[in-house]
Amino acid sequence: MSDRPQVLLDTSVWVDALRGRTAAVVEAVGDLLREDRVVRCDVVGAELRVGLRDRERSKVLDLFNAVPNVPVDSADWESAGDLGASMRERGVTLPLTDLLVAQVCLRHEFELFSLDAHFQHIEGLKLRRG
């Protein structure tokens, strides 16, 4: 592992990079993988599995599963719920899956690489945009 901060790739980045949609995202993901800075969590894995096409399933999951996994624990679930409640009081609603991903990043001080703009509303989250 690198001395530089680890980066959790959100589902939006995995999909964009693996389908080759945005050259800058493909390049950034490739660099992060070569630098051994990418981590994953099962929440993103579940989201990926929902959207995978049959012809890409094994290739994508082989790559995804080769990246170190960071478990989501019961404290993450509780903190994600609290985070969602506090955000809702401010008029911002995020999907529970995204709250969990953000909470894992906050707990471990990971950078989150996402193409979803709503993550910018989470205070303290280190966010990398495509």
How would DSSP label each residue in the chain? --SSPPEEEPHHHHHHHHTT--HHHHHHHHHHHHTT-EEB-HHHHHHHHHH--GGGHHHHHHHHHTSPB----HHHHHHHHHHHHHHHHTT----HHHHHHHHHHHHHT-EEEES-GGGGGSTT-EEEE-
Report pLDDT digits (tens) over 55-70: 989 989 999 999 999 9
CATH code for the domain in which residue 46 is found: 3.40.50.1010
Asked if residue 82 belongs to a domain, the reply is no
Report pLDDT digits (tens) over 75-119: 999 999 999 999 999 999 999 999 999 999 999 999 999 999 999
Asked if residue 26 belongs to a domain, the reply is yes
Asked if residue 19 belongs to a domain, the reply is yes
32 has pLDDT over 70: yes
Whole-number pLDDT of residue 79: 97
Number of domain units in the chain: 1
pTM of the model as a whole: 0.93
Determine the structural domain holding residue 58 and report its residue range.
7-70+109-129
